[in-house]
Amino acid sequence: MDSNIDTGFTGQLQAGTTLSNRYLIQEAIGIGGMGAVYRARDLHFPNVIKLVAVKEMINQARDPLARETILRNFEREANLLATLSHPAIPRIYDYFTHKERSYLILEFISGKDLETILKETTGFLPEGKVVGWAVDLCDVLQYLHAHQPEAIIFRDMKPSNVMINQHDHVVLVDFGIAKTFQTGERGTIIGTEGYSPPEQYRGEATAQADIYALGATLHHLLTRRDPRFEPPFSFNERPVRQINPQVSPELESVLVTALQYDPSERFQTAEGMKAALLDVSRKTGLSQPTSPYTTKVAVPQASITPLWTFSCADEIRGTATYVRDVIYFGSYDHHLYALNASSGKLLWKYATDGGIVSKPAVFGDYVYSGSEDYRLHVVSTRTGSVTWTYFTNGPVRSSPYIAHGHVFIGSDDASLHAVNLANGRGIWKMDSGALIRSTPLVNQDDIYFGNEAGELFCLDFHGRIKWRFKAKRAITSSPVVSDSFVFISSLDAMLYALEAKSGWVIWRFHLDKGSISTPCLADGLIFTGSVDGNIYCVDIHSAKEAWRFSTEHQVTGSPVIYKDALYCGSVDGFIYCLEYRTGQLRWKFPTGNPITATPTIHDDVIYIGSTDHSFYALPAT
Amino acid sequence: MPGFFQRLFRKRRTSPQTNLAETSTDQPTQPHSKPLAETAAEQTPAEQTLAEQTAGERSPDQTLLKPPQLIVGIGHSAGKQRDHNEDSLFTLTSTLFSDEIRLPFGLYIVADGMGGHQHGEIASGIAVRAMAGLVINEVFSPLISLPPTDPTESLQEIMRRGIQAAHLAILKQTPGGGTTLTGVLILGDQMTIAHVGDSRAYTIHPDGRIQVLTRDHSLVKRLVELGQITSAEAAVHPQRNVLYRALGQGEPIDAEIVTVPSPKSGYVLLCSDGLWGVVAEQEVFDLVTSAPSPAQACQSLVAAANAAGGPDNITAILIRLPD
């Protein structure tokens, strides 16, 4: 086989290569640090197709001693496999070495490894399925640990070393470790970081080390959080149920035990862990594979009673504004309302000729509100009588933003309008080329807003474009600025962080679906809703998801942080109160219909309207 | 990192009760109440500017520089106890002023090859080239292209790909090699930091605060965080040099990436542990703020590390940020 090994550019064996005149390489099915694994056909069985796995190790060490050690470890794996017989361990047929390449010929497992399964799926794996695999894994560990004359410690349990075959049973692959711990002068990396137990760093390998690594593997499977991207030994800082509330408390507790820092506090045997897992499936009844959504978390139903409610003639879609004990909001019944915030009594209402879906702004003694009647209305806060109106050429669904003596507002006429605050005279308008539903934001000398063509503009005070950014779909939500970041969510299912000066994208966070919810910020975290029904919490510096909370329907309104809680409405009709650091539900309050508005909170009172035609004042607790 | 914080506190405090065990747990922020800052707060802005111009310890480098620009210095030394330098570094500083755009752009990378492995300097060199090449292609080229284009990915995604490119290049070109890598991309008012290993990035604010932006991927540091060993034990731990994450080692790899606002009128310091493990933070601060230029500050930093024994390779990149 000297000359006919065709390794191509990458050093990999090419399809069609024959090893030992017997194994016809079909394709590479896995690539590792020291070589590849191939699917090959055994030509000694010409009349049937017998597949084998060919595991190749290329010994590139230059130091003769290192070469020798690597080769010895390879032979050890071959010899080890030859002594083992268990359905979850692949059989070995042959091994041989040629020059710097060594080969193991193994039983071919038709299936996928767990790392691939994680990659190819979204959403959490069903608990019953994971418990089933875990029981299988305990069983094979039990077999290895009971091996005579010496226990075999697998030492490298991780998703990529566990295959799931076509019968949905596990097969352990890669017995090639025998990783001896070496301290280099500095920085020798050991084992598979992330799954390894703390004592592996001390060179200890015991049955409890395999139990820890199994716990780590199961934690990864249930949470989809890759431990290789987290600090070592941090599993119990990421409780399984905090990330995946569908997991039963019983299973979480098994993982907590398996993942104890101190080996003596873990399950002492694989048998013990297996018994605990079987207990879990008996208690939860989840021994059979089930759909991920069959378990429902018990939620505290609201013992929340409204302080007052107020009814209008049509849906309330927009957000309220609180100023000096008065609540202002618009309704689809064409009216702008002013209510006493303490009592909910009507102070006045002002009629426009169209529905009001935006949030009014108050400046001095005037309230400013757009309406679908194409106008921006300015009304006295005291009497509710009109002071002036300003016409645009389309329905106004954007909310006004007041800064530097001007009111800025977008319109379905595609323009952003800058209007003199005092007299309603238009100063300039800037045609963005598409409907503007996004509310403008003014930060220092910059004006930011989005449009339905997916563009985010940064204008100067003369209405000239400083920069623009294009998302793939509409930007209906409004920008938020903090620390020279501009944050914006889009219907293209992204939450973006842009550099405020240049508009360059610093990071993008993938939502499951689009968003028209304006994000809010607290403590270096950003929160946003999405039409996928989730409320997301993301770290603004690292773009890492801190948590997500699922509601039963789209979240189109925006979350609000007040004290230590997040408040947010959902189209499922509920107002949610979550711990903002963890995303844990505190309570939820049902209204009769979808909520699209954002809560307004002042002095421990939440003010929010619903499409059930009612406006609510709820205690923020 | 013997003496790092010990020296810090020795300078600051007169009472000697602070020992290494209590003080060497890194906090992300170490606020220093500089006497200068305290007195300056009582002055009017005009007086303050005047004071800054006249005070002997305020250097010419710290007066307002217009237009905004990045000023960079580097230091690189094998140290006193190694015969060759396994650290690699890269700097690219540029400015684009045209039309409405006024953009400082800078890319700075430090990589510390691992001596326990063969060819540490090869791995660090490969890593720096791979990362710099990718980021220049994906960020810098679009910036200066005609007409200007936007990168197709976010800066964090590009930095992450840069780290991956470096990792794969080592796996391919020098299997078994390993290196740390800390890279900082400055664009506009933001900087994006990507790192693997224990080379550090600091911000040094004019008000005396020093902040570590990176978290060392060090085993003993993690054990200290978990309360399994004390800082005193960590300082003499046999595995105190063991990293749990490094480029070229383990598969897959993920960098820690954060973006933070650049410290106005402040500095960013990138360095290998040959500097931060040897020279106290307060001394670093003093050397940086008293030097006439970042270049001279880096010479002083390297000299200080060598004066302290120079046990390891020393690399420093110091960037003075716009006001």
Comparing CA positions, the residue from B187, B76, B172, B179 lying closest to residue B136 is: B187
* Per-residue pLDDT at B291: 94
Helix, strand or coil for residue A186? coil
Q: Name the helix (H) or strand (E) containing A240.
A: helix A240-243
Comparing CA positions, the residue from A400, A474, A404, A468 lying closest to residue A439 is: A400
Tokens of B319: 């960037």
| CB contact (8 A) between residue A233 and residue B222 | yes
Phi, psi torsion values for B268, nearest 5 degrees:
-120, 130
For B242, the closest of A187, A233, A543 (CB atoms) is: A187
With contact defined as beta carbons under 8 Å apart, do B144 and B276 qualify? no
**A364 at interface of B, judged by CB pairs closer than 8 A:** no
**A71 at interface of B, judged by CB pairs closer than 8 A:** no
Question: Options 3.30.565.10, 3.60.40.10, 3.40.50.2300, 1.10.760.10; which CATH number does B35-54+71-320 get?
Answer: 3.60.40.10
Count how many pairs of residues, chain A against chain B, have C-beta atoms within 8 Å: 141
* Per-residue pLDDT at B30: 39
Shortest Cα distance from B180 to chain A (angstroms)? 9
Tokens of A538: 């993301």
Provide DSSP, A385-428.
-EEEEEE-SS---SPPEEETTEEEEE-TTSEEEEEETTT--EEE
* Per-residue pLDDT at A429: 94
Contacts 24+ apart (CB under 8 A), B228-235: B228/A198, B228/A261, B230/B21, B231/B20, B231/B21, B231/B22, B231/B23, B231/B24, B231/B25, B232/B19, B232/B20, B232/B21, B234/B24, B235/B1, B235/B2, B235/B20, B235/B24
Q: Residue range B67-83: average pLDDT? A: 92
pTM for this predicted structure: 0.75
d(CA B56, CA A373): 66
Q: Residue range B212-231: average pLDDT? A: 87
* Per-residue pLDDT at B118: 61
pLDDT single digits (tens) B118-172 = 667 889 999 999 999 999 999 999 888 888 788 889 999 999 999 999 999 998 8
Phi, psi torsion values for A248, nearest 5 degrees:
-75, 150
With contact defined as beta carbons under 8 Å apart, do B299 and B290 qualify? no
* Per-residue pLDDT at B19: 33
**A257/B244: higher pLDDT:** A257
Q: Residue range B52-75: average pLDDT? A: 65
* Per-residue pLDDT at B241: 75
Query: Where do runs of H (alpha helix) occur along chain B?
Result: 4-12, 20-23, 35-41, 45-54, 120-135, 141-144, 155-173, 219-225, 231-235, 273-276, 281-290, 294-307
| CB contact (8 A) between residue B250 and residue A500 | no
Regions of chain A where pLDDT drops below 50: 1-9, 178-191, 287-300, 302
* Per-residue pLDDT at B144: 86
Provide DSSP, A499-568.
ETTT--EEEEEE-SS---PPPEEETTEEEEE-TTSEEEEEETTT--EEEEEE-SS---S--EEETTEEEE
Tokens of A63: 């130091």
* Per-residue pLDDT at B14: 30
Mean of the per-residue pLDDT values of chain B: 79
d(CA A256, CA B79): 46
Helix, strand or coil for residue A17? coil
pLDDT tier at B21 (50, 70, 90 boundaries)? very low
With contact defined as beta carbons under 8 Å apart, do B229 and B238 qualify? no
| CB contact (8 A) between residue B114 and residue A499 | no
- The chain A residue lying nearest B150, using CA atoms, is A504
pLDDT tier at B100 (50, 70, 90 boundaries)? low
Kindly tell me the burial class for residue A177, based on how many C-beta atoms sit within 10 Å of its own C-beta (0-12, 13-18, 19 or more): middle
Kindly tell me the burial class for residue A427, based on how many C-beta atoms sit within 10 Å of its own C-beta (0-12, 13-18, 19 or more): middle
Which residues, numbered 121 to 160 in chain A, qualify as contacts with chain B under a Cβ-Cβ cut-off of 8 Å?
A: none
Radius of gyration of chain A (CA): 32
* Per-residue pLDDT at A210: 93
pLDDT single digits (tens) A290-336 = 333 333 334 445 478 899 999 999 999 999 999 999 999 999 999 99
| CB contact (8 A) between residue A504 and residue B188 | yes
Q: Residue range B297-304: average pLDDT? A: 97
* Per-residue pLDDT at A232: 87
**A255/B62: higher pLDDT:** A255
* Per-residue pLDDT at B64: 64
Which residues, numbered 540 to 559 in chain A, qualify as contacts with chain B under a Cβ-Cβ cut-off of 8 Å?
A: 541-543
- The chain A residue lying nearest B245, using CA atoms, is A189
d(CA B228, CA B219): 11
Tell me the chain B residues in contact with residue A469 when contact means C-beta distances shorter than 8 Å: 150
Whether B181 shows a pLDDT value over 80: the answer reads yes
CB neighbours of residue A469 within 10 Å: 23
Buried b (16+ CB within 10 A) or exposed e, A566-599: bbbbbbbbbbbbbebeebebbbbbebeebbbbbb
Whether B8 shows a pLDDT value over 60: the answer reads no
**A184 at interface of B, judged by CB pairs closer than 8 A:** yes
- The chain A residue lying nearest B170, using CA atoms, is A33
d(CA A147, CA A138): 14
Comparing CA positions, the residue from A161, A10, A144, A14 lying closest to residue A84 is: A144
